[in-house]
Amino acid sequence: MSLYRRKDSPYWWVKLPAIAGETRPLCLSTGTDTKRRAQEFHDRLKAERWEQDKLGKKPRYTWQDAVVKFLQETTHKRTHERDKSMFLWLHPALGGKCLDEIDRTVVDSIKFQRAEIATKATANRYLALIRTVLRKAHREWEWIERVPTVTLFRESAGRVRYLTLEEFNRLHRELPPHLADMALFSVATGMRQANVKGLRWADVDLLSQHVRVAGEAFKNGRSQGFPLNAAAMAVLQKRIGQHSEYVFSYRGKPITNVSTKAWWAGLERAGISDFRWHDLRHTFATWHRQAGTPTHELQMLGGWLTRAMVDRYAHIAPEGLQQASGRLDNVLQGYALATPERQKGRP
């Protein structure tokens, strides 16, 4: 039967004979659990395939076709599993549609539906994935003639929570040794949680005081180097000999989780609230800005891809900007003193 149910799916499925250029029958979900709509999908698809086979008409590709091709081409992405999870959520809305049926109205419906059950930032990730797939279908695969406009929600600058030096000292004293070492190394280098947990001795050059993390560990795929200051070097010297492969370990095994009971208990004892492990990276950036580190240097030290990611720390050290502004004092001093004299006697 060309229209049927499957035990592993709530939707109706179609099965149509192979046409020219295909080696097997086409089996496809209709994306609906209503038989009437499934029958309409079946009849339309059957007619389109007949025109393609007999009249040479260009085929219409479905969203599901695009998802399969996209996943095949992006197995290297660090977010591959997350993409698959997002596609599963999108399937009820897009699974039974042809690509040329996905217009601004359809996308906006998904946009607001997702925002109702999650944050705008989360909704934006789904919208960005839809846009990426449709752009590939248009520009690379030549499956559709145009891409609908996909507008994202405007997001806030982001959360910046950091510790003062005194707060960090309190926290450091309350953490068990393995977490205390990792926390100190994090604020000393600005490395992300995943990179600290996965740091191998093979990535560390103690002689040149440098760490090199391979590109596979980053979303942008670019390798990143981190210079090691005295505090970071002291941590590494302390960890030598505790594990043959990984820098940070606990009871002979690599550390895979830092947000443990010991971490939260340490925060509570230190009297610190509303603080996540990732905020150690904010602390690193904040301390650098307070110490006068220029934006371009901080961007390179922390491995931020764009300057905009670093600009959110600009307000933390206004005294640095005040000092920069003062560089014109010598240039403008004569003008400033002379101006009142020139204006004497004027109304």
Long-range pairs, 156-161, Cβ under 8 A, ≥24: 157/312, 158/312, 160/282, 160/286, 160/312, 160/313, 160/316, 161/274, 161/275, 161/276, 161/279, 161/282
94-110 pLDDT tens trace: 988 999 999 999 999 99
pLDDT in tens, 54-97: 877 777 889 999 999 999 998 887 788 899 999 999 999 998 89
pLDDT (average), residues 329-336: 58
DSSP 152-195: PPPPPS-------HHHHHHHHHHS-HHHHHHHHHHHHH---HHH
Task: Dump pLDDT digits (tens) for 102-147.
Answer: 999 999 999 999 989 988 888 999 999 999 999 999 999 989 989 9
| More confident of the two residues 30 and 56 | 30
Mean predicted lDDT score pLDDT of the chain = 86
Which segments of 82-238 are extended strands (E)? 204-205, 210-213, 224-227
Cβ neighbourhood burial of 100 (10 Å; 0-12, 13-18, 19+): middle
> Residue 151: its pLDDT value, please?
92
Q: What does the pLDDT read at residue 12?
A: 92
Please check whether residue 125 is in contact with residue 145, taking contact to mean a CB–CB distance below 8 angstroms: no
Distance separating alpha carbons of residues 241 and 235, to the nearest angstrom: 12
Q: What is the pLDDT of residue 235?
A: 94
Task: Report all structural domains of the chain as residue ranges with CATH numbers, in order of start.
Answer: 3-55 (no CATH), 80-140 (no CATH), 165-322 (1.10.443.10)
Retrieve residue 218's tokens.
């980053």
Q: Has residue 165 got a pLDDT over 50? A: yes
**Per residue in 297-316, pLDDT tens?**
888 888 877 777 777 776 66
